[in-house]
Amino acid sequence: MIFKDFNVIFTDRIEKMSIQVMEGKIVSMNPDFSDDDEIIEGNGRYLSPGYVDIHIHGAGNHDTMEGTFEALETISNTIAKHGTTSFLPTTMTVSVEEIRKAVEAIKEAKGKVTGATIAGIHLEGPFISEHAIGAQNPNYVIRPSKESFLDMVGEHIDLIKNITMAPEVEGALALAPYLRQHGVNVSMGHTVANYEQALDGIHHGFNHSTHLFNAMSPFTHRTPGVVGAIFDTDVTTETISDGIHVSYPSLRTAYKVKGSDKTLLITDAMMACGMPDGTYSLGGQKVISKEGAARLESGALAGSILTMDKAVQNVYKNTALPLYEVIKMASYNGAKFSRIDNVKGKIALNYDADLLILSEDLEVQHVFIEGRKFL
């Protein structure tokens, strides 16, 4: 299969060229080809690496916490239609037993879902602050400990790519080094830590931050908070770029401070993603999806209904970032975070052919997952 004369989006440039794919891999740049080859004409369109979403709870009326293959298969297929080719199913602050069930289900589904591939797991909670609960369930917040963590993940610690914790809660600083030693990213989130406590967390191994600005102590000129610590260090961060969770001026500021290498685009989508307005649930709590936002009955934002293709369009339209940097934030950075950047996240020789054909206005027209045409 040859993608002929596309505007190919690399991590550092866009170049018009042709790409050859064989047996699910990118095998040649500007190859020779014959009439016998399957040719896909670029016609001015973009060829992009598939998007990698490291923070997503659900889609298509299903949630990771259902703990079933059917739920994960539906999520996988729903988000693949919007350009996501790899993702980290994300758990909620619920009981340890429910989290363990979800982890086991993800383990079984990995390598079997037919849409976006499962790259691992993101545990959002339960080691968070009840004072920055967001849409998490305060009844299931527990203090961080190695024992509780292992109760949740069992023998599958290798699948855990990220955990969101509050650095100020008792036990977090002791647990963070253990997690990092086992290859788990440790993310500040759902936290009321002050600047000094956030820095202390970073010194103990916290290396990421969950949905920047949301459910964390804000930046002000005298009390810089968690946001200030993120801006003042080299930890990575992620943004829900729907124009609802964070204003575009704030997003532009964050991207200027952190740069495109340290920022990841995520959806934080829940089961209402890809569904009509209505009543849904998240972590056992009632959620109302209306006018592009998902909220608890209290009015608190409850994840999002954002898709990765829309996040890319929003950031490209509302910032001065070049397109290749926006795409990098949606693809390679997530792959690197998930430790799959040796085979996914960019267009390069011997990489998996996770590819998107995008129109000039960045609409997803076709999706290829490991060389297989999905859409």
Residue 214, annotated as binding a ligand: yes
Of the candidates 267, 284, 355, 287, which has an alpha carbon nearest to the alpha carbon of residue 78?
A: 267
Reported as type and span, the H/E element at residue 248 is helix 248-258
Residue 215, annotated as binding a ligand: yes
Of the candidates 255, 271, 275, which has an alpha carbon nearest to the alpha carbon of residue 263?
A: 255
Give the 3-state secondary structure of residue 282: strand
- Evaluate the omega torsion of the peptide bond into residue 126 and state whether it is cis, within 30 degrees of 0: yes
**Annotated catalytic residue 158:** no
Residue 245, annotated as binding a ligand: yes
Reported as type and span, the H/E element at residue 239 is strand 237-240
Q: How far is CA 95 from the centre of its chain?
A: 23
C-beta neighbour count of 150 within 10 angstroms: 12
Residue 182, annotated as binding a ligand: no
Reported as type and span, the H/E element at residue 203 is helix 195-203
Of the candidates 226, 232, 219, which has an alpha carbon nearest to the alpha carbon of residue 201?
A: 226
d(CA 91, CA 202): 23
Choose the catalytic residue: 268, 309, 352, 354: 268
Residue 203, annotated as binding a ligand: no
C-beta neighbour count of 194 within 10 angstroms: 17
**Concatenated DSSP letters of 74-132:** HHHHHHHTTTEEEEEEEE-S--HHHHHHHHHHHHHHTTT-SSSEE--EEEE-SSS-GGG
Burial 17-27 (b: 16+ CB within 10 A, else e): bbbbbeeeebb
Residue 211, annotated as binding a ligand: yes
Inter-axis angle of helices 146-153 and 96-109, to 10 degrees?
A: 50
Inter-axis angle of helices 248-258 and 308-318, to 10 degrees?
A: 90
Residue 70, annotated as binding a ligand: no
List the binding residues.
Answer: 124, 135, 190, 211, 214-215, 222, 245, 301-303
List the binding residues for substrate.
Answer: 135, 214-215, 222, 245, 301-303
User: Residues with catalytic annotation?
Assistant: 268
